[in-house]
Amino acid sequence: MRPILMLPLLLCPLSALCAPAAANDWRTGWGLVRAANPTPQGETISTLASVKLEGAAGYWQARVENHLAGPVQIALRQDAGAAVLPGLPLQTVLPGSASVVVARLQVAPETGRLNLLMDAVPGDPAARPQDVAYQLPFDARRFQVTQAPQGRFSHEDPENRDAVDFALPEGTPVLAARAGKVMQVQGNFSSNGQAPGDRERANFIRILHEDGSMAVYAHLRENGVLVRSGQRVEAGQRIGVSGNTGYSTAPHLHFAVQANTGMQLRSIPVRIVAPQGELRFAREQADAGPAASH
C-alpha cells in the first residue's frame, strides 16, 4: 500500500501537460485521488498538484502547480532505465496555491517525449506538530465511537491509524476542532458503500494548523461543506454537515490529524476534550467488533 499518490508513467510530448492520474486506494490520505474523467453527474476530485513542461531557449522547464491552499511536497523523477537528466530526481515543497518552476531540463533537440513521474503529499515535512488539546468536532453530551484508533475495519494504515470514527446522525453540524486554514475541500459526492469505487467518494475538509499538522473531517453529506479553500476558521466554528458518503456503512464522522513525515502522510495521536473530559480509547481486541466509547 502506497502512502502517497504515485503517478503512472507519463509519456508526455514536450509541449504537453503532464497531469496526475488516479490512485488506487482511498488510504493514500483523503483527496489524493481524482476521477480520470467527470462522471455523468459531473463529479470530479481535485488533484494535489500538476506538472507541465514549458519550452525555453536550449532547455525545457518543469512547472508544478500546487492546487491546495497549503503546502505540498512533490518528488519529480524519471522512470527506471531512462537516460539521466541533470536536475532529476528532485524533491521540493511548494507553498499553498503556488506555481513554481522546479527544474530546467537539458533535452536533446530530437527528443519528442519525456518520461516523468511525480509523487505529491500534502503538508510540509519540516513541520513539527505540537501537543495541543482538540475540541470535540461536534456539539453533543453523549455520543458513540464506532471505530477507535487502530480499528481493524479501516484504521490500520499509517494515514488513518490514529483516526476516530464518531457515529453521528446525518445532518449533524461538524465543528472545527482547532483553528486553522481550510486547505482542501471535496463536497459533491452523494453515495456510499463498500465497493472499490466508493473508496474515493467521501466528501471531506482538510484544515491546516499553525504547527503544520492537518485535520481531516470526512464522510460529510453531499453539499455538506460549508467553508471554502483558503478560508480561516476558528475552533468551534461550524464547517460542515455530517453524512454517509464514500467507503462507509453508516452515517458517521471520520476525524484524523495527519502530518507529512517526508513524502509520507501519517496520522498522529491527538488529545480530544469533550464536555465530560478528555477521551480515552481502549485498544480493540482481536476477536471484537468496532470499539464503542462515550
Q: Evaluate if residue 92 carries a pLDDT over 80.
A: yes
Cell numbers of 26, please?
Answer: 482511498
Q: Mean per-residue pLDDT for 195-216?
A: 86
Rounded CA gap, 189 and 166, in Å? 20
Give the residue among 23, 30, 24 at the shortest CA–CA distance from 163.
30
Highest mean pLDDT: which range of 80-89, 126-135, 189-198: 126-135
CB-based contact 198:247 (threshold 8 Å): yes
What pTM was computed for the model? 0.81
Asked if pLDDT for residue 209 goes beyond 70, the answer is yes
Residue with the bigger pLDDT between 213 and 199: it is: 213
Q: Is the confidence at residue 285, as pLDDT, over 60? A: no
Q: What distance in Å separates the CA atoms of residue 119 and residue 263, rounded to the nearest whole number? A: 8
Among candidates 192, 211, 188, 195, which has minimal Cα distance to 254? 192
Alpha-carbon distance 214 to 160, whole Å? 12
Q: Please tell me which residue, 184 or 199, carries the higher pLDDT value.
A: 184
For the chain, give the percent of residues with pLDDT over 90: 47
- pLDDT of 12 strictly over 90: no
Beta bridge partners of 188: none
Q: Where are the alpha helices (DSSP H) in the chain?
A: none
Phi-psi region at 178: left, alpha or beta (left = phi > 0; alpha = psi -120 to 50): beta
pLDDT tens digits for range 31-81: 554 433 333 333 323 479 988 888 766 788 899 999 999 999 999 998 888
Classified as helix, coil or strand, 200 is helix
More confident residue, 201 or 48: 48
- The conformation of residue 286, written as its DSSP 8-state character, comes to T
Helix (H, G, I), strand (E, B) or coil at 122: strand
Q: What is the average pLDDT value for the chain, to the nearest integer?
A: 78
Q: Is the pLDDT of residue 98 over 60?
A: yes
233: helix, strand or coil? strand
Neighbour-count burial for 89-104, b at 16+ CB within 10 Å, e otherwise: eeeebbebeeebebbe
pLDDT over threshold 50, residue 292: no
What does the pLDDT look like over 225-262, one tens digit per residue?
999 999 999 999 999 999 999 868 789 999 999 999 99
Torsion angle (degrees, nearest 10) of CA 28, 30, 32, 38: 130
In tens, the pLDDT along 109-161 reads 666 677 788 889 999 999 999 999 999 999 988 889 887 665 565 556 778 78
Q: Give me the pLDDT at residue 187, please.
A: 87
